[in-house]
């Protein structure tokens, strides 16, 4: 809003004070100049909740048009969470025009519309997770913790008296599968997955960053139950102690996120991943923000075998027994899961160049030419492992491999 418009609105505000007239401003996004903040009362209109969507379905669709059982209707309602009334009407009308009735297969069309809606925000991504816990090698303690809470968002859990889980913080070394865990959690619990790009929250206008943060939390609560994945949250908090550099915007955004994580009542499970421990504020690590903090270390020998099996079964399922998995695991001490995957792919490139199928020897040769992160960033990794060894976080693996 330019200065001329702001000045005219202020003058109009003074004129209207002596009358019974009210000026109503409509906008999809709240971006008020500082000069008008004290003169405007803000009324927010949230997206329709589940009860409103059910009522909308009743108004729009005659019973004969809705060819869904009660469970299918609930899935359709869940798919519509996060859409505006107008957008949901358009999607349902298009389905009726094309197919005359709404069936279970049409729920995917509503989900696709929701993906487009979330994509338009620019700082949220919608994922349809298709990788489960079987895609993760090792981490038995973390897997057990997640499986124990598999029914945590059901009505049965509420009747039992359990609160909604708040979230989990995954700390660890780069390439150890933290992002993969976020996707696996959503798949295991059958919840939609939203990925938040914290860097895109920051805008150039005053108040824009804080407003975007509120939009993100409101949208996540509307779609709930869901999993909100905040990837590399340490980068978001890296500048929180340098308030002067950006007039305190980073500090206010992080403060808004922390307060919401502490006080939220909607079933939004936050999965945050971090590599740099020193960038995280102490208030993030205390109980209340997350249900648990897990440390994901470099895989031990048994876990490396499992990781090799996961990748080889995906790439060469009919030849899995031909590979010497134990030898591959022994040759990769201090390798992360990502480095193991790249070693397998590099071995395949070597064999492909020779016009033959990949063998154990090709992968071993690729391993010999690989310098793992544990060698190039030894001090940082040892500091992380020493921090976890003090009992400050729960270990994702049953066995702690120790420093490289």
Q: Report d(CA 310, CA 312) in Å as an integer.
A: 6
Q: Report d(CA 366, CA 24) in Å as an integer.
A: 67
User: Chain centroid to CA 314: how far?
Assistant: 25
What is the model's pLDDT at position 403?
47
pLDDT tens string 169-187? 999 888 888 989 999 998 8
| Angle of CA points 91, 97, 98, to nearest 5° | 90
Q: Where are the domains of the chain?
A: 3-39, 50-120, 127-296, 301-370
Q: What architecture is domain 127-296?
A: 3-Layer(aba) Sandwich (3.40)
Residue 147 CB contacts under 8 Å (≥ 6 apart), including other chains: 133, 188
Structure tokens given for 323: 């590979």
Determine contact, residues 223/82, Cβ cutoff 8 Å: yes
What is the model's pLDDT at position 246?
56
* Sign of the C-alpha dihedral computed for residues 36, 42, 46 and 52 taken in this order: negative
pLDDT tens for each residue of the chain, 404 residues long: 678 888 888 888 888 888 888 888 887 766 777 777 777 888 877 778 888 888 888 888 888 888 888 888 888 888 888 888 888 899 888 888 888 888 888 888 888 888 787 777 777 888 877 788 888 888 999 999 999 998 888 888 888 999 989 999 999 888 888 989 999 998 888 888 999 877 777 765 556 677 788 888 888 888 888 899 998 888 776 655 554 445 567 777 888 888 888 888 888 999 999 888 777 877 787 777 899 999 999 999 999 999 999 999 999 999 999 999 999 999 999 999 999 999 999 999 999 999 999 999 999 999 999 989 888 888 888 888 888 888 788 899 875 455 44
Neighbours of 267 (CB within 10 A): 20
CATH of domain 301-370: 1.10.8.60
What is the model's pLDDT at position 207?
63
pLDDT tens string 352-377? 999 999 999 999 999 999 989 888 88
Residue 62 CB contacts under 8 Å (≥ 6 apart), including other chains: none
| Ramachandran angles phi, psi of 302, nearest 5° | -65, -40
Beta strands 292-296 and 394-395, pairing class: parallel
Report the chain's C-alpha Rg in angstroms.
25
Neighbours of 247 (CB within 10 A): 10
Q: Using H for helix, E for strand and C for coil, what is the string for the chain?
A: CCHHHHHHHHHHHHHHCCCCCCCCCCCCCCCCCHHHHHHCCCCCCCCCCHHHHHHHHHHHCCHHHECCCHHHHHHHHHHHCCCCHHHHHHHHHHHHHHHCCECHHHHHHHHHHHHHHHHCCCCEEEECCCCCHHHCCCCHHHHHHHHHCCCCCCHHHHHHCCCCCCEEEEEECCCCCHHHHHHHHHHHHCCCEEEECHHHHCCCCCCHHHHHHHHHHHHHHHHCCEEEEECCHHHHHCCCCCHHHHCCHHHHHHHHHHHHHHHCCCCEEEEEEECCHHHCCHHHHCECCECEEEEECCCCHHHHHHHHHHHHHHHCHHHHHHCCHHHHHHCCCCCCHHHHHHHHHHHHHHHHHCCCCCCHHHHHHHHHCCCCHHHHCHHHHHHHHHHHHHHHCEECCCCCCCCC
């Amino acid at each position: 809003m330019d200065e001329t418009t702001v000045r005219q609105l202020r003058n109009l505000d003074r004129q209207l004070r002596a009358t019974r007239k009210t000026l109503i401003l409509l906008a999809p996004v709240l971006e008020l100049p500082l000069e008008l903040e004290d003169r405007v009362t803000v009324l927010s209109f949230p997206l329709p909740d589940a009860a409103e969507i059910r009522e909308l379905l009743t108004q729009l669709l005659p019973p004969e048009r809705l060819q869904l059982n009660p469970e299918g209707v609930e899935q359709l309602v869940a798919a519509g969470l996060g859409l505006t009334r107008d957008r949901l009407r358009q999607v349902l009308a298009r389905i009726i025009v094309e197919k005359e009735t709404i069936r279970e297969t049409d729920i995917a069309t509503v989900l696709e519309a929701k993906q487009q809606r979330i994509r338009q925000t620019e700082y949220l991504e919608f994922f349809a997770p298709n990788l489960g816990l079987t895609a993760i090698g090792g981490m038995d303690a973390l897997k057990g913790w997640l499986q124990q809470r598999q029914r945590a968002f059901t009505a049965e859990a509420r009747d039992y008296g359990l609160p909604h889980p708040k979230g989990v913080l995954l700390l660890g070394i780069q390439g150890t599968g933290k992002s993969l865990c976020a996707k696996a959690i959503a798949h295991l619990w059958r919840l939609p997955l939203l990925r938040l790009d914290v860097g895109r929250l920051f805008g150039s206008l005053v108040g824009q960053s804080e407003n975007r943060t509120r939009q993100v939390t409101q949208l996540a609560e509307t779609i709930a139950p869901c999993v909100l994945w905040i990837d590399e949250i340490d980068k978001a908090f890296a500048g929180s102690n340098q308030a002067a550099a950006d007039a305190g915007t980073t500090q206010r955004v992080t403060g808004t996120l922390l307060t919401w994580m502490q006080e939220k009542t909607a079933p939004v499970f936050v999965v945050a991943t971090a590599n740099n421990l020193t960038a995280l504020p102490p208030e993030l690590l205390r109980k209340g923000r997350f249900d648990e903090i897990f440390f994901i270390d470099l895989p031990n020998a048994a876990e490396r075998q499992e990781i090799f099996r996961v990748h080889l079964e995906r790439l060469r399922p009919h030849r899995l027994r031909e590979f010497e998995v134990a030898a591959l695991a022994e040759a990769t001490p201090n390798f992360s899961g990502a480095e193991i995957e790249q070693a397998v792919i590099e071995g395949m490139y070597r064999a492909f160049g020779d016009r033959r199928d990949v063998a154990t020897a090709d992968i071993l040769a690729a391993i010999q030419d690989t310098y793992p992160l544990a060698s190039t960033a030894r001090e940082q990794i040892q500091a992380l492992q020493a921090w976890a060894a003090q009992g400050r976080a729960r270990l994702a693996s049953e066995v702690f491999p120790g420093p490289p």
